[in-house]
Amino acid sequence: MSEITEEKIVIVEETSGTSKETSEHKPVELIEHKHVENVEELPPELEELLQTDPSKGLTTDEVQKRLERFGRNELAEVKTNPFLKFLSYFTGAIAYLIELAGIFAAVVQDWLDFGVIVGLLIVNAFIGFIEEARAENALDALKQTLALKAKVWRDGQFVEVDTAELVPGDIIGLRLGDIVPADGRLLGLSVTGNETDSNLSIDQSALTGESLPVDKGKGATVYSSSIVKQGQMLAVVTKTGGDTFVGRAANLISITVEQGHFQKIVNAIGNFLILITVVLVGIIFIYQMVHFRGTHNGEFLVVIGKCLVLTIAAIPVGLPTVLSVTMAVGAKQLAAKKVIVKRLTAVEEMASVSVLCSDKTGTLTLNELTFDEPYLCPGYSKEDILLYSYLSAEPGANDPIEFAVRTAAEESLDILKNRQNKHEIPGYKVTAFVPFNPTTKMTNATVVSLDNNEVFKVAKGAPQVIIKLVGGDDDAVRAVNSLAARGLRALGVARTNGDNENYELVGMISLLDPPRPDSAETIRRCQAYGVDVKMITGDQLIIAKEVAHRLGMNRVILDANHLVDPDKTEEEVTQHCERADGFAQVIPEHKYRVVELLQKRGLLVGMTGDGVNDAPALKKANVGIAVHGCTDAARSAADIVLLAPGLSTIVDGIMTSRAIFQRMRSYSLYRITSTVHFLMFFFCIILAENWEMRTILLILITLLNDAATLVISVDNTKISQRPDKWRLGQLITLSIVLGIFLTAASFAHFYIAHYVFGIPKDNDNEDKRMETIMYLHISSCPHFVIFSTRLSGFFWENLPSPTFFIAVMGTQIFAMFISIYGLLTPAIGWAWGVGIIGVSLGYFVVLDCVKVIIFRFWSFEFTARVWPTPQRKQKLRNRIERKAFEEKISHNIKKVRKVVLLSKVISAFRSAANKTKTIKA
């Protein structure tokens, strides 16, 4: 049965066969339920090309000319060279600095350092390249959605051709089960060329998000890749290739090439570290060139070699590797929960997502039309309407409405369960059946009750037809209007009694694409984690509002016109996007625009979907999530693919990604702090004391500490209740403060060892224990800070995992034994070794308190006042205004509550007084 389109009719009383309106009985109108579709005007020059004779079609010569003008009916391919993609992992601020250090190492022929640098760069590139395995076939998948062959009139013959050869003006034939090969306009002619009044039932849910097949007649547009569910008709091709509905989606995907959020963060950290490294090492280079001018120590290559060692030890060579490994481990954890990560950095970005835009059909809902609560006339039950609907349903019909009716009856009625013969209905026999057709808009069955041989008829069809069949029913009209206002589809069911040919109404079936069982809970949990969920669907507005209501969302759903209103500024449209709970009747460009506007607001946006219409927005979003059962186009455009039905695994993804984010942020804070400390200490000590540490010890510190922190990927974390943010200003400021404290500790070790314990500080002295003391201190003291940077509170609020603790402590115990027994450096004995480790452990507790104080003091208001950029000042004003508005609303609500409470008290007193008077009387 094709989609029911309700018309406005007036139901009036009929007396002696004459219809009349009476003052006692006011007519009730049935609300019209129209299908809203985006219609595009074709340019006049293209319209001229569409005036093809439907009985002959285009000639071969004309087809060739149009192929040259419009191109083939296929999507352009964009291929990425795998080798160039691999090389892209050697780009970025930190990578460039590491590569520069590698060049310097080769110049001074320091092959050990050169090997370490090149090895780390290649390892990091392979991790990113192999783990991501980025699927660059979004356009290929969209191409596969096109039909391979098409029936077309050419040179007066109805022939089969490749879809790629279709051109505007071609006359194509569309039949049941066909995939529409190009955008076209229906001609109202059958495949044989005769005029037809019947329509085509088109399933375009994967393109537009509509939950029901759409009924389309003469003059209507059919879209490439939609599916013909019923009927047959000729159409003239209007658009091909990249100009089609699917083609525009492909174009949106191809232009969406932006630097990821995570890469921007890493580059920002890298730029900061590059700046301080280049400045401080540059000053040291100039100082040594001038100070040791004319000596061996002042030679260019010697000075470059010393600066190279500092640079290698200072820059976070392992930062990209540690972060990549952390995300890779997280991706494997998500895979165990049936969440497949295609782009590795999406793991980090998902933790920061604050808005989740979701498609409705097939994502929040099942995309399966199902039986909802019916309207029943007196004397009939839900079982009755299901039985009569089943009796009048066409067996095996390829129609979602008939399928929904039959499925609901078979699942609910006992007599239809456990039947030996699925074609028989126990106790009943259908002796005649008239299937649905567009003229009558109903099905009709003649049924015999085998219990008493009663013969009766059952009719099922469009509400206006069934209501007219029973002679009118105002209550039924109101019921249908109520269902229509909620976006539910109604079907009337009526039957005759015995030999009486008059029909009486049984009730109205209501049908809806229902929410998935876990959708409401998923939305609630997302909101609890600070993620705002917005529904963006191509379905009708009233249907979207009803689904939003059932999902526990607010019903502020706007139609797509709000996104393209020429009378509104982009700022006003952006505010609509922020405040609305969703948009309906959208096309792919609209979904793309919603995501784009929210991103311009500084928000990280996630997008879920399953259809071709979702693919551009999935690619544009910071994190695109393709749900179970999605199309190839959606799967290819997405960063994350859900293998399990429903959206519940999204919450698992959010929690896992936030845990991973905390580990990455912890390591980044530790590594920046270590770099700041290292540069500040050696900058000052070289200028003040001309004291240096051997290359092998500096590299040993870097390798041991970075190797230990690789296991941060399995460390315990404290998951935040709000979307995570890097807050680079806070991160760098805290790193500088902690770096200053560590530098102070390093100087304390240096001068206390020299002045209190008499350890020589001169590098030329035979007693080189100072180098060992400073090696063990610089290895352990900054390294233990990672126990503090794991969370914003005190370190004991969430203790590290045993594996992480053992790895960190193990490297420092190893360094301690090296220092105690002098394996690579002069021995300092147990007293110095244990003492330095003990002081480092105690000092990290002091730094932990400093960190907590800074986190508690720091706020956005503080940032906006210390570094008042125009954007921050505007954001601060907006926050203050919003807070004042919310306080005003809260104050008014309290007033209203007081008035209501006072009214109830007065009412209670009056009621009690009246009772007292009654008793006395």
Strand ranges, E, within 440-520 = 442-449, 454-461, 489-496, 503-512
Least confident of 99-113, 160-174, 655-669: 99-113
- Domain C-terminal end among 614, 643, 672: 643
Mark whether 485 and 617 lie in a shared domain: no
CA 221 to chain centre: 30
CATH classification at residue 400: 3.40.1110.10
Q: Is residue 22 part of a domain?
A: no
pLDDT > 50? residue 257: no
In the 8-state DSSP scheme, what is residue 556?
A: -
3-state helix, strand, coil in the chain (%, to 5): 55, 15, 30
Residues 612, 459: Cα–Cα separation, whole Å: 38
Strand order in the sheet with 557-559: 339-341, 640-642, 623-626, 605-609, 355-358, 532-536, 582-584, 557-559
Mark whether 381 and 358 lie in a shared domain: no
Average confidence (pLDDT) over 697-717: 75
Average confidence (pLDDT) over 895-904: 78
pLDDT > 80? residue 814: yes
Check 170, 215, 243, 359 and give the catalytic one. 359
CATH classification at residue 701: 1.20.1110.10
Residues 642, 647: Cα–Cα separation, whole Å: 8
Q: At 223, list the tokens.
A: 């879209």
Average confidence (pLDDT) over 133-155: 56
170 is catalytic: no
Q: Tens of pLDDT along 530-546?
A: 899 999 887 778 888 88
Exposure class string for 351-383: b at 16+ Cβ within 10 A, else e: bbbbbbbbbbbbbbbbbebbbbebbbbeebeee
Q: Is pLDDT larger for residue 881 or for residue 6? A: 881
Q: Tens of pLDDT along 28-82?
A: 776 555 555 656 677 787 788 888 888 888 888 898 988 888 888 876 655 566 6
Counting Cβ atoms within 10 Å, is residue 385 exposed (0-12), middle (13-18) or buried (19+)?
buried
Q: Is residue 819 part of a domain?
A: yes
The residues, ordered by sequence, that sit 6+ positions from 879 with a Cβ below 8 Å of its Cβ are: 860
Residues 163, 183: Cα–Cα separation, whole Å: 12
pLDDT score of 822: 84
The total number of structural domains that make up the chain: 5
Mark whether 238 and 94 lie in a shared domain: yes
- Domain C-terminal end among 643, 676, 696: 643
Mark whether 166 and 76 lie in a shared domain: yes
Q: Tens of pLDDT along 184-225?
A: 888 888 877 778 777 888 877 767 666 667 788 888 888 887
pLDDT score of 38: 59
pLDDT score of 499: 67
Beta-carbon count within 10 A of 883 CB: 10
pLDDT score of 10: 39
CATH classification at residue 181: 2.70.150.10
Mark whether 746 and 791 lie in a shared domain: yes
Please give, one letter per residue, the 3-state secondary structure of 224-251: CCCEEEECCEEEEEEECHHHCHHHHHHH
User: Measuring CA to CA, how many Å separate 561 from each of 202, 557, 558, 804, 831?
Assistant: 24, 12, 8, 54, 77
Q: At 684, list the tokens.
A: 């000052």
pLDDT score of 639: 84
Strand ranges, E, within 498-618 = 503-512, 532-536, 557-559, 582-584, 605-609
Q: At 72, list the tokens.
A: 């083939």
Average confidence (pLDDT) over 907-921: 66
Mark whether 294 and 431 lie in a shared domain: no
pLDDT band at 731 (very low <50, low <70, confident <90, very high): confident
Q: Is residue 38 part of a domain?
A: no
CA 51 to chain centre: 44
Domain that residue 890 falls in: 869-920
Q: Is pLDDT larger for residue 199 or for residue 306? A: 199
pLDDT > 50? residue 140: no
Share of the chain above pLDDT 70, in %: 82
pLDDT band at 11 (very low <50, low <70, confident <90, very high): very low
Q: Is residue 29 part of a domain?
A: no
Residues 540, 360: Cα–Cα separation, whole Å: 11
Q: Is residue 443 part of a domain?
A: yes
The residues, ordered by sequence, that sit 6+ positions from 686 with a Cβ below 8 Å of its Cβ are: 284, 287, 288, 692
pLDDT band at 147 (very low <50, low <70, confident <90, very high): very low
CATH classification at residue 574: 3.40.50.1000
pLDDT band at 513 (very low <50, low <70, confident <90, very high): confident
pLDDT band at 454 (very low <50, low <70, confident <90, very high): confident
Mark whether 609 and 730 lie in a shared domain: no
The mean of the pLDDT values for the chain is: 79
Q: Which residue has the tokens 């109604």?
A: 490
Q: How many residues does the chain have?
A: 921
User: Measuring CA to CA, how many Å separate 348 from each of 319, 655, 758?
Assistant: 15, 11, 50
pLDDT band at 137 (very low <50, low <70, confident <90, very high): very low
pLDDT band at 24 (very low <50, low <70, confident <90, very high): very low
Mark whether 239 and 266 lie in a shared domain: no
The residues, ordered by sequence, that sit 6+ positions from 145 with a Cβ below 8 Å of its Cβ are: 179, 206, 225, 246, 612, 631, 632, 633
Mark whether 136 and 58 lie in a shared domain: yes
Q: Is residue 27 part of a domain?
A: no
Strand ranges, E, within 248-365 = 339-341, 355-358
pLDDT > 70? residue 132: no
Residues 609, 549: Cα–Cα separation, whole Å: 20
Helix spans in 758-828 (H): 769-784, 786-789, 802-821
pLDDT score of 839: 93
Strand, helix or coil at 471? coil
Residues 671, 311: Cα–Cα separation, whole Å: 14
Q: Is pLDDT larger for residue 328 or for residue 14? A: 328
Least confident of 130-134, 182-186, 519-523, 699-703: 130-134
Nearest to 753 by CA among 847, 835, 840, 838: 835
Residues 722, 661: Cα–Cα separation, whole Å: 12
- Terminus-to-terminus CA distance in the chain, angstroms? 69
pLDDT > 90? residue 746: yes
Helix spans in 71-159 (H): 82-87, 93-107, 111-132, 138-144
pLDDT band at 832 (very low <50, low <70, confident <90, very high): very high
Average confidence (pLDDT) over 88-97: 70
Strand, helix or coil at 456? strand
Q: Is residue 32 part of a domain?
A: no
- Domain C-terminal end among 229, 249, 269: 249
Q: At 527, list the tokens.
A: 């909101």
Mark whether 666 and 702 lie in a shared domain: yes
Q: Is residue 556 part of a domain?
A: yes
Mark whether 104 and 197 lie in a shared domain: yes
The residues, ordered by sequence, that sit 6+ positions from 232 with a Cβ below 8 Å of its Cβ are: 173, 174, 175, 176, 190, 191, 200
Mark whether 122 and 68 lie in a shared domain: yes
Q: Is pLDDT larger for residue 899 or for residue 237? A: 237
Average confidence (pLDDT) over 322-327: 74
